[in-house]
Structure 1
Amino acid sequence: MRPVRGAARCAIAALALAGTAWVARAVWHIRLAVAGQPASGPLDQGDGVHRPPNALEDSYHLVASVGSAVTAVCVIVFLLWLDRMRDNAKALSGTDPRYGYPWLWLGWILPVVNLWIPRGVVADVHRSVFPERRLPAVVNWWWGLWLAGLAGGVGIIYSDDTDEVIARAYSGVLPLLAADLVIVVAAGAAALMIHTLTTAQREHVAGRAY
């Protein structure tokens, strides 16, 4: 059996940092909205012409870059925790995971299938060991919030570049703030999910004296 307590703590800490990073992004979205678009117009002025960013816009680029880096690290730490949980679930249940190892990573980045495979991988960790139990509700809350955050266009895999997000903050900040809030809450739900699934598995292992 692979130890999971330390991996769970690292994942929860990483989620806390990622949530903080997204709160910072939300603060900068508000600052941009309050400041308003400069008289010189948007950063992308068309025909390949870009004006130099002002100090606030430049600082947002920094906040966004740091936030993206922290979020990427969070994803890696989360998947390392999930990998350990999958291995333990296989040992406890004696059955292979529903989704093969490549899907642990590819399921997040391949279009269309990334709408359900990551949740399926997580759910399988619990169901394979506890087939008689209902899936903890926090798993569905986490996944629903995660998808809602991605739909806001500012998730890990988003269509707008930083300059376009700045333009959105100037023209209508409320959808951005809603997406920020959803992702922060999703991070909290993910942390609770990690705690719930890890505790259940560790108690099961202790009961079987592994």
Structure 2
Amino acid sequence: MTEQIDQSAAHARAYRPVQVAGQLTVGGLSCAGLAWIARGVWDVRLAVAGEPSAGPPEQGDGVHRPLNALENSYHLVTAVGAWVAFVCALLFLSWMWRLRDNARALSGRTPKYLGFWVYLGWVLPVFNLWIPRGIVVDAFRGSAPGRRLPRSVNVWWTLWLIGTFAGVGIVYRDSTDQVIERAYTEVWPLLMADTAVVGAAVAGAFAVRAVTAVQVERMRAVRAATAEMTGVA
């Protein structure tokens, strides 16, 4: 009995604060969603304005014409969006790490994925198709065994994959000037990718809130049970 109490108390002390990290991550995802809404608005503005008579910004053979005011503002919008996405990524990684550590303390078992996957899982080809979601799912199941995974987790990951690997979403294979040209000539793929990214940000915010709430609830329950056992002892 005493050993069980000591183990429960040790686990409770091992918990890392995840609620604030979750709230910050939700805020970061919300800002990222707004940044991609802005990109979508500028995509539409470029499409409506139409390509200038001088042609696309990149004219071949290393020749670039001077950008007009709308094109310059698109560069600014995309640069701000990139910084917002970077900050959001840092917040999300911090939240994932805390979530994973707390799940290990709650379950008493080794996580399915080693710690370095929290970072490398996002950037290594092929592995980035499932490992980030796998870390979240594994942490959820370690925190609340038997509970149903929130649907928002799967929605977030599906939209994230679409927005990342569409070639016109989060990871652009083209330069910003080439994307501007695509907005002039074929804006719909850009808008579809923008929609997927915004949807992923919204679903991600719901997923983070739901998973965090379940883990916080379980940690509070364990702390309360530990305090009761200690008092009885």
The answer, yes or no, to whether TM exceeds 0.5 is: yes
Instruction: State the partner residue of 1:200.
Output: 214
Deviation at 1:149, TM superposition (A): 1.1
Runs of 5+ in structure 2 lacking a partner? Answer: 1-14, 227-233
Instruction: State the partner residue of 2:164.
Output: 150
Q: Is the 8 A contact 1:152 1:176 kept in 2?
A: no
**Higher normalized helix content (fraction of residues):** 2
Instruction: State the partner residue of 2:9.
Output: none
Q: Is the 8 A contact 1:14 1:77 kept in 2?
A: yes
> Counterpart of 1:51 in 2: which secondary structure?
coil
- How high is the TM-score relative to the length of structure 2? 0.87
Instruction: State the partner residue of 1:160.
Output: 174
* Residue in structure 1 matching 2:54, options 40, 53, 72: 40
Q: Is the 8 A contact 1:8 1:195 kept in 2?
A: yes
Runs of 5+ in structure 1 lacking a partner? Answer: none
| Root-mean-square deviation over aligned CA pairs | 1.1
Partners in 1 of 2:45 and 2:216 — Cα distance? 45
1:46-65 aligned within 5 A: 46-65=60-79
Partners in 1 of 2:139 and 2:88 — Cα distance? 20
Q: Is the 8 A contact 1:29 1:173 kept in 2?
A: yes
Partners in 2 of 1:154 and 1:71 — Cα distance? 15
Instruction: State the partner residue of 2:135.
Output: 121
Q: Deviations over 1:134-189 (max 9, x none)?
A: 32211111000111112332333321221111111001111111111111111010
* Residue in structure 2 matching 1:68, options 72, 77, 82: 82
Which range is displaced more, 149-158 or 46-55? 149-158
1:79-158 aligned within 5 A: 79-158=93-172
- How high is the TM-score relative to the length of structure 1? 0.96
Instruction: State the partner residue of 2:5.
Output: none
Instruction: State the partner residue of 2:199.
Output: 185
Instruction: State the partner residue of 2:185.
Output: 171
Q: Deviations over 1:38-67 (max 9, x none)?
A: 111111111111111111101100000000
Q: What's the % identity of the aligned pairs?
A: 55
Structure 1 stretches of 4+ with a deviation exceeding 3 A read: none
Tell which structure's C-alpha radius of gyration is larger: 2
Instruction: State the partner residue of 2:12.
Output: none
Instruction: State the partner residue of 1:29.
Output: 43
> Counterpart of 2:182 in 1: which secondary structure?
helix
The AA in structure 2 aligned to 1:203 is E
